[in-house]
Structure 1
Amino acid sequence: MKLVPQFSDFLRDTVNLNATRIGLLEKSVDAIKDFVRQCEWDPRVRGFEEQGSWAHDTIIRPLSGGEFDADLLVKVAPVSGWTAKDYVKKLGEAFADSATYGSKCKTWDYCVTVTYAGERKIDIAPLVMDRKHAGSLEVCNRLADEFEDSEPMHYTVWLRDKNLLSGSNSFRKVTRLLKYLRDIKTTFTCPSVLLTTLLGMQIDFHDKDTEAFADVPTTLRTLMRRLDDWLQARPVKPRVENPHLRSEDFAAGWTDLQYANFRSFIHKYRGWIDEAYDMEGKAASILAWRKIFGDGFAKGETAIAAASINEGTSLIATLLSTTAAHLDGIVDAVRRYGLSILPGNFNRPPHMEEPAWRREAVVSTDVAVIARRHRGRDSAPDRLLRSGDIVSRDGGIWFEATVNGGQPVPDGFRVQWRITNTGAMALRLNNGRGKFYAPTRQGLRWEELQYRGIHIAEAFIIRVRDDVLVGQSPPFNVVIE
């Protein structure tokens, strides 16, 4: 389920930087502006410009005990005889000599940082105007003593345009959600400007006023699907250019390993988001979204969700059979509460056969089942299914196995399928199956949708040269009404 109200509450109460902190930030920035105008620093100040997440309105609340960052550009006229390092070095000296900021400041390569311990950091960076030619903008690299072209204002306009195309401020809200996901999971590395750019690249002019951006959870799913597809098409680290300064590559600081890790986890979280979005039943959907965003999501509904799941679990107990001939009402219960109410041994019914192959010392679980619903065996697919999706008793499913985050099964390996039926209808007709089957064609397995109940498809990867089992997918549940 989308749970639009719960997303609004989660953003307001957990993710967004609250109004009190924004007010304190603005007061601090105003004081810094006054200081820069009046201090003993030679450049003529032409103005100031917010930069980074603060300017883009994608700044988020820091995790407990953390500090948030804000960036401030000081637009200045060039000083005759100064090199790039002078602008940063001498600005740092001015702050260091101040009774107000001396103990709070530190000079870096491009900026001076003022830290308000345990609360916030403000980076103040010189931006030199018109040095090379009229209209040129350059930041200053103190360490290399070089001027570097910059287009911060045009980049901010680009992001604002993307937000207008997505509508309802949804691009900014989704960017905040994914920055929060990055910070709480700590499973991947991606600087904010790079993450924001990658997401903005997934929005185009034809997206305006479309259903793909109808609300925040739908925008989240749309952007994660598009980003994952973009990344999966690029196994080697690509350039991610500033859209208004092609010489600037935001991905330059990524290592190949960091990119591969980011690509893998975006693929994983895309699957989790799809599952939560498609989950039937409010309680089950809350739990699925919490798997992604933690217990802060829908935190006011913890007791309600737990009670609902308990109710569903109690109901399931009355519908289960030790022979797997479960009563038909199990489908309606899963429709209402989701797969999470099923007991842990549900996908191990007694008539299911064990694999006969010798097993590798470590059998990989990085095997996924992709399921596509078709009206007929040779027709075009109707839709891509997720485990637990409910389908009607007509047509069938083509199952495909992928490995290592969505890659095809490589040469030298073959796929075997274990297909298991449960439910009173299938077992009454002695069609519980639970055996292993060869692919129907080219590694894919075709299964018709016949019996009401919850059925199980699993892919097993066998190394051909020695007939050893090296990989096995998690169970994929097909719920037929």
Structure 2
Amino acid sequence: MTARVREFNLFLQDYVNLNQTRIKTLQTRVSNLDDFLLEDSTLADVIEDGLVPQGSFAHKTIIRPFTGNDFDADVLLPMEEQEDWEPKKYTVELQKALEASSRYEEKTILKTRCVTVNYAGDFHIDVVPFITRADGSTYITHRTNNEFLRCDPKAFTSWIEEQARATNGHLIRVIRLVKYLRDRSSIQTPSVVLAALLAERVRSFAGVDDYTNVATTLVSLVEGLHEYIGSMTSKPWVDDRIGQNLADRLTESGFKNLQSQVKTWAGKMRTALDADAAESVEKWQSVFGDNFGAAKKESLVLAGAALETYEKRVAPGEQRLPEDFGIPIRLDPKHRIRVVGRAAATTRAGGRFRQISARGNHVRIGRKLRFTVEDCTVEKPYDVYWKVRNAGEEAANLNDFRGEIRQSGDSITETSTFAGNHWVQAWAVKDDVAVATSIQDVTIVPS
């Protein structure tokens, strides 16, 4: 078995992932739009909360656009239900509010379920009115049918995040890779359906080796998907996490194409993973094309550059439990903990703290953050050791990667100070051995 970790990392970086400049621009545009709607728009009085990332933007599975296509960010706009408004009025009033601004004038398109804001370049933002009705259920609106549509994208995003944790984060990379393959094939499966089908294949009780790296996770999930849909004679049930079938978005012929393609991918991927080192790159190229294993020159330069951002790698001065505290890590499958991050709604830390997983772990700068150990199955007494790690260009420029470990209680507080992909990790230490751990990712977006 040859995992080809380096080749997968470079292939994702060069050909699959949306580059960091585009991501930062997108995050900044969403932040600016959020500020306008909350503070300066004619809708400010009926808006309940800031924009909530959803879909690929929330799940961090946006990929580089295929030839001739652009990319987009979907965001929810939480609005108070208005007794005298028909469902169709929410999108109409949203467009009016945007068009009343010189910043967004003549940049919007009124669509069935959203208002699209177009920007120069190759991306746009779809703003979806999101209503919590009197019974507590959440809805979006369908303008042409003039009706409310039951949905809960926050619940779906939280579920994707939980499944990603179980795969050491590799589920997100697998979804990107499969979307890359989809865009270059004959299948037309919506991204949300692909994401759900792959996430459903995650086994929280799986052996450690299943999700050790991108290659093993990819093969495990795609083979699992083939085993699940391969013999089906009609479309499957794909839960949207509130009991509705996402597969309704597939045609029967589209599902048959997906079945066939997944079977082909699963066979080729298994062959590539099992190949010896001398043949593995060529076998993976039969799946992803000749660009796999052919890193761009600028990527190799960046890999050796002095400005190292330490994304999920040990940073200078970062502490480790065994080396710095003499605490061995022996994770026990019967023990688990879960770190849950919550953020204040405003810079003034007013109102309740909101769980960040429902927002794709996106947090604005200047928010108070609280991290809590929950769902712990380790019998008391035990100690909790915490690590906060910064990453990204701003952390590198400030030389502020952190990474110190400290013993504390079941919760810690922090502040979102600068942009980047950061994370918080906790260990439950029983009898001087770390028996369980959990990581909460935190994406702090630029203002």
Asked if these proteins are the same fold (TM beyond 0.5), I'd say yes
- For the residue of structure 2 that corresponds to 1:241, the secondary structure is coil
Quote the residue 1:109 is aligned against: 112
- Structure 2 CA distance for aligned equivalents of residues 98 and 156 of structure 1: 31
Aligned residue number for residue 82 of structure 2: 79
2:259 to 241, 260, 263: 263
SS for the counterpart of 2:128 is strand
Number of the residue aligned with 1:188: 187
Q: How far apart are the structure 2 equivalents of 1:172 and 1:292?
A: 19
Task: For residue 43 of structure 1, report the CA deviation from its aligned partner.
Answer: 5.4
1:145-198 Cα deviation digits (max 9, x unpaired): 11122211111111111011111x111111111111111x23211111000000
- Are the equivalent residues in 1 in contact too, given 2:190–2:249 (CA < 8 A)? no
- Per-residue CA deviations over 1:334-384 (Å, capped at 9, x if unaligned) read xxxxxxxxxxxxxxxxxxxxxxxxxxxxxxxxxxxxxxxxxxxxxxxxxxx
Note the 1:460-479 alignment, pairs <5 A. Answer: none
Tell me how large the CA RMSD over aligned residues is: 1.8
Match of 1:45 in 2: 47
8 A Cα contact 2:14 2:296, kept in partner = no
Query: Which position in structure 1 is the counterpart of 2:152?
Result: 151
Residue 205 of structure 2 aligns to a residue whose secondary structure is helix
Give the AA of the match of 2:176. R
User: 1:7, CA displacement in angstroms?
Assistant: 0.5
2:138 maps to 1:120: no
TM-score of the pair, normalised by structure 1: 0.59
Q: CA contact under 8 A between 1:276 and 1:285: conserved in structure 2?
A: yes
- The answer for the alignment partner of 1:286 in structure 2 is 281
- In the alignment, residue 103 of structure 1 is paired with which amino acid? E
Q: Among residues 238, 242, 247, which one is paired with 1:245 in the alignment?
A: 242
- Identify the residue that residue 275 of structure 1 maps to in structure 2: 271
The aligned residue for residue 414 of structure 2 is none
Q: For 1:413-448, what per-residue CA distance to the aligned partner results, in whole angstroms no more than 9, with x for missing partners? A: xxxxxxxxxxxxxxxxxxxxxxxxxxxxxxxxxxxx
Amino acid at match of 2:205: H
The answer to whether the aligner puts 1:223 opposite 2:221 as a matched pair is yes
Structure 1 residue 42: deviation in Å? 6.8
Pairing 1:88–2:87 present: no
Tell me, which stretches of 5 or more residues in structure 1 are unaligned?
A: 303-481
Structure 2 counterpart of 1:264, one-letter code? S
When the two structures are aligned, how many residues end up with a matched partner?
294
Quick one: higher RCO (CA 8 Å, sep 6+), 1 or 2? 2
* Displacement over 4 Å in runs of 4+: none
Q: TM-score, normalised by structure 2?
A: 0.63
Q: Is contact 2:37-2:44 (8 Å) kept?
A: no
Distance 1:29 1:55 in 2: 12
The 5 Å alignment of 1:298-447 reads: 298-300=293-295
Deviations 1:242-291 (A, max 9, x none): 1x210x22111211111011101110111111121122343x32122122
Checking the alignment, whether the CA contact within 8 Å between 1:269 and 1:292 is kept in structure 2 is yes
SS at match of 1:258: helix
2:69 aligns with 66
Aligned 8 A contact 1:95 1:102 in 2: yes
- Identical-residue share of aligned pairs (%): 32
User: CA 1:125–1:301 in 2, change beyond 3 Å: closer, same or farther?
Assistant: closer
> Counterpart in 2 of 1:26?
27
Return the offset for 1:136.
2.1
CA contact (8 A) 2:14 2:295 kept: no
| Match of residue 177 from structure 1 | 177
Q: Distance in 2 between matches of 1:40 and 1:108?
A: 20
The alpha carbon displacement at 1:45 in A equals 1.2
- Separation in 2, partners of 1:261, 1:105: 35
Aligned-partner SS, 2:93: helix
* Secondary structure of the corresponding residue to residue 253 of structure 2: helix
Q: Is the 8 A contact 1:162 1:200 kept in 2?
A: yes
Report the Cα distance in structure 2 between the residues aligned to 1:18 and 1:65, rounded to whole angstroms: 17
Tell me if the contact between 1:110 and 1:125 (Cα under 8 Å) persists in the aligned partners.
Answer: yes
- What is the letter of the counterpart of residue 258 of structure 1? G
| Match status 1:214 vs 2:216 | no
Look up the match of 1:17: 18
Q: Which amino acid aligns with 1:28?
A: R
CA distance in 1, matches of 2:255, 2:68: 29
Cα distance in 2 for partners of 1:217, 1:93 equals 48
Q: Give the direction of change, closer, same or farther, for the CA distance of 1:277–1:85 in structure 2 (3 Å limit).
A: same
Aligned counterparts of 1:140 and 1:43: Cα–Cα separation in 2: 19
2:291 alignment partner in structure 1: 296
Gaps of 5+ in 2: 298-447
Q: Is the 8 A contact 2:10 2:295 kept in 1?
A: no
Residues 65 and 118, structure 1, Cα contact 8 Å, conserved in 2: no
Deviation string, structure 1 residues 454-473 (Cα, Å, up to 9, x no partner): xxxxxxxxxxxxxxxxxxxx
In structure 1, C-alpha distance between the alignment counterparts of 2:294 and 2:63, rounded to whole Å: 18
